[in-house]
Amino acid sequence: MTVNFYATLRGVVGQRSVELPLPDGTPVRELVGELARRWPALAEHLFDETGGLSRRVNLFVGGRNVRWLDGLATALRTDQVIDVFPPVAGG
């Protein structure tokens, strides 16, 4: 599956996009765990103190925020694109 990084997270990973060879049905929890394993500096952006998805990151699967799907239990397909954003603020 393709994972795209935006803004400051792109700098942490060092590239705009990565391909991860994860099987169909992989939950988002395993995806973010793999991202944290490959890029340890990304972990502080991905997880909160309880191991849940941090508010410091937004993950979109097929254009939909995983928080409005099944959260970390959201099952992924290999043909999906995952977009990882830092929170956006502005005025």
Show the domains of the chain with their CATH numbers: 2-85 (3.10.20.30)
What phi and psi values does residue 35 have, to the nearest 5 degrees? -60, -45
Q: Give residue-wise pLDDT tens across range 12-65.
A: 999 999 999 999 999 999 999 999 999 999 999 999 899 889 988 999 999 999
Confidence of residue 89 (pLDDT cuts 50, 70, 90): low
Determine the Cα–Cα distance for residues 20 and 60; give it in Å rounded to an integer: 16
- If residue 35 lies in a helix (H) or strand (E), which one and from where to where? helix 28-38
What's the pLDDT at 90?
56
- The tokens for 63 are 């254009």
Determine the Cα–Cα distance for residues 13 and 8; give it in Å rounded to an integer: 9
